[in-house]
Amino acid sequence: MSCFKWSPKRTASEEIVYQENMKRVAQESGKRLGLDGDPDLQFLLVGGELIKVRSDSWKKNRFYKLQEDCRTLWHESKKVHKKKQTYSIDDIDSIRKGRQSEGLKKYTDPSVEDKCFSIIFKGSKKNLDLMASSAEEANRWINSLEKIISIMHNLDYQQKSEHWIISCMRKVDKNHDNKMSLKEVKDFMRQINVEVDDYYAAELFKKCDTSNSGTLEGSEIKQFYNLLTEREEINVIYEKFAQTEGHMSSRDLLNFLLNEQREQVTMEHAQKLIEKYEVDAAAKQKKRMSKDGFLMYLQQDEASIFNPAHKNVYQDMSQPLNHYFISSSHNTYLMEDQLKGPSSTEAYIKALMKSCRCVELDCWDGPDGEPVIYHGHTLTSKVLFKDVIRAINDFAFKKSQYPVVLSLENHCTLEQQKVMTRHLTSILGDALLTKPLSDTMPTKFPSPKELKGKFIVKGKRLNKLDAFYSKNNTVVEESVSEEDEAAECKENGQKAKPKKSNIKLAKELSDIVVYCKSVHFNSFDDARDKQAFYEMSSFEESKAMYLAESSSSAFIHHNMDKLSRIYPAGSRVNSSNYNPVPLWNVGCQIVALNFQTPSKEMHLNQGRFLPNGFCGYILKPEFLRSPSSQFDPNDKNTFQNKKTFHVMVISAQQLPKINRDKAKSIVDPLVKVEIYGVSADTASKETKYILNNGFNPKWNESFKFTIHVPELAMVRFVVMDYDTTSQNDLVGQYCLPLTSVQNGYRHVPLFTKRNDVISSAGLFVHVMLMDA
């Protein structure tokens, strides 16, 4: 089947010219990726037929291929208005081999396992479930796509920027002649998110059209590109420090790193940067850095606002489990809202792949003796308990090796509780923690390091933990009180159950609850006197917020030797989120959020767990762990490490359009700098907006924040599209702890509302965190 089946009609000679142009475009794109002549790239460019799977009855052949820009996957469509459909490689999260999606498991036979694969997209876009004609062909597609995705992901900022600009040029080159007319230049400027008046566009065009041909081609397009991407703000910095014949010597660069970036580095480090990033061979030979090399360095991890030393696990992971903040999800099974949204194993996979380490399972009796998971007494769909456990087992430790807590909300009868236990033990095997790690009765939690690769069940237990060490392990009482979240069945007009209604608990299920026994919370005094370290309580958000405000010191000391779980109020039927920061401030470890709902609160969660290898565990500050601590987040007199945070918002690069459907829609960007932490530190300041320029807006505006407790503070950069008549739209955002911020001139990456990286966009700032 021809991959150009849907192309507009061309004459035979035009078709030959067109095909040659396409080959040239593909070759240039491949070269930029370092894949010139690569057989895997060639395989994707040629393309082939795959079976697209949607249901038992909907399995259809479709032709797929990589477009010549090497960044867009194309497939034919039978829809009248969508003859061609495309997916950006940037939007692909991963390729999943085999029948590893809900759709393929449901609609294909196990015998075709090795022919199947899924393309998993970022955000809420549905998976693409595909089947090849053979296992060999499926592997070829999987390996080739993974290679392209990996290379695109690992391009440096400058390469991503170049790719993006060139792809925008391709879009306006409607006749594919590799030339740009003045009209195409104007269209291109709108494509890259900048509105210019006709006079400016004509002047820019004239300056580059050195051949006076009325079109730009070859070196003229290159000159046009250079003029567009000129960074005046970088030139100013470079010229200030380039004191050696117009270049930066290694001594000049060291001066910049020590005095401007405040890095404790040596001459050897400066020379390594020149060796690594200088693009001019002659300058490199002289151990000098040109302006281009300097720009290249500023766009790398070393010059990111996020400290690259925090990209890997760097904290002490041998402390008791309750000494860590733990990335935690609520209603993990839901893809959307908690009234009628779909339940899916995919929701668990997405959460686990974001390093979530505590997932929730609402378990109810299902048909045929098989328990199901869904939001009880609502219209949310149901998913089999055993399918969820299989998905968790498959994906729990792909992003992080540290333990996963399975938070059970048990509404099942004794018979189905026994089925639950059987599935947990048979599917999770040795990874399921079924007894304490030590030979003697423990007095504190084991560490995340000791629990690597383990699943911990949180739920009700019929007896104390010391029953493991007693010969007489009999249980007289078979029922336990059902309280906290399990008793809150108010949704959808349901009458609330009494707070202490009893449920029958199977001994088999009780016995696999080891370190996370759920108990009712009465008071901090009661918990101190009667609760063992492994007995933990769950708090509805409003109760937790009240305690964090009224009894902050007691809450902090409670969390020094016990675990606390916080969950959203049942009234949040749209699965919105509460602010997790006040709960972290009092040391609460399991602050559960609706991962399926993109929100500012989820951005804060992403920021909190960004350091330490994004492993889902962050060691709490010492003053939240030490019994002698007098720290109180509501009392300034207990703060001991006051800092001043200076932020200069300089510029932004290549901001995306908000309304892609409107060709003339150009953003008017402004930047908000927000601080989250103890209430004394919470603040927000914003720049003015720049009219009609999302490509290279400049602000040069400075802000100053007083930070009383930097160990708990986070900074969030938010780029908004200003609107006079309605609410400003989010363009991009980035959040990180203040303790992971690098001083000096730094690039800030930008993420979407759903926390996916916007590959070519960024902010350029100058930041300085200093002793007050």
Q: 213 exposed, middle or buried (CB, 10 Å; 0-12, 13-18, 19+)?
A: exposed
Relative orientation angle of helices 250-259 and 232-241, to the nearest 10 degrees: 110
Per-residue CA distances from 139 to 113, 134, 135 (Å) = 12, 9, 6
* H or E element in which residue 328 lies: strand 324-329
CA distance 715 to 213: 51
CA–centroid distance for 307 within its chain: 17
Q: Which two tokens stand for residue 755?
A: 């926390």
537 burial type by CB count under 10 A (0-12 exposed, 13-18 middle, 19+ buried): buried
- Residue 746, Cβ neighbours under 10 Å: how many? 20
Query: CB–CB of 360/378 below 8 Å?
Result: no
CA distance between the termini of the chain: 69
Structure tokens at 742: 């690098």
Tokens 């008791």, residue? Answer: 320
Q: Is 375 annotated as catalytic?
A: yes
Instruction: Retrieve residue 309's tokens.
Output: 């030393």
Using DSSP, state whether 120 is helix, strand or coil: strand
Sequence-ordered strand ranges (E) for 575-616: 590-593
Query: What is the Cα–Cα distance from 649 to 651, expressed in whole angstroms?
Result: 6
Angle at 620 between CA 562 and CA 640, to 5 degrees: 115
Q: Which two tokens stand for residue 38?
A: 């690569």
DSSP, res 211 = T
Residue list, annotated binding site for Ca(2+): 331, 360, 362, 409, 666, 668, 692, 721-723
DSSP secondary structure letters along 214-239: SSB-THHHHHHHHHHT--HHHHHHHH
Tally of CB atoms within 10 A around 200? 11
Catalytic entry in 163, 310, 323, 330: 330
Give the residue among 146, 54, 38, 48 at the shortest CA–CA distance from 97: 146
**In whole angstroms, how large is the CA radius of gyration of the chain?**
29
Binding residues: 52-79, 331, 360, 362, 409, 458, 460, 538, 565, 666, 668, 692, 721-723
- Told to judge if 247 belongs to the known catalytic residues of this protein, a careful annotator would answer no
Would you tell me how many other CB atoms lie within 10 Å of the CB of residue 428?
A: 22
Backbone angles phi, psi at 359, to 5 degrees: -115, 150
Closest by Cα among 606, 604, 612, 717 to 308: 612
β-sheet bridge partners, residue 745: 766
Of these residues, 163, 310, 323, 375, which one is catalytic? 375
Question: Residues at the annotated binding site for substrate?
Answer: 52-79, 458, 460, 538, 565
Question: Pick from 517, 508, 511: which is nearest to 468 by CA?
Answer: 511
Distance CA 22, CA 5 (A): 15
Alpha carbon distance 359, 361 (integer Å): 7
Distance of CA 343 to the CA centre of its chain: 21
Do β-strands 683-686 and 669-676 pair in parallel, antiparallel, or remain unpaired?
A: antiparallel
Tokens of 510: 């009780």
- Phi, then psi, of 401 in degrees rounded to 5: -90, -5
- What are residue 140's DSSP bridge partners? none
At 678, is the secondary structure helix, strand, or coil? coil
In this structure, what DSSP letter does residue 473 have?
-
**Angle between helices 291-298 and 267-277 in degrees, nearest 10:** 100
At 628 the three-state DSSP class reads coil
Place of tokens 């668990």: 348
Sign of CA dihedral 114, 120, 126, 128: negative
**Residues annotated as part of the active site:** 330, 375
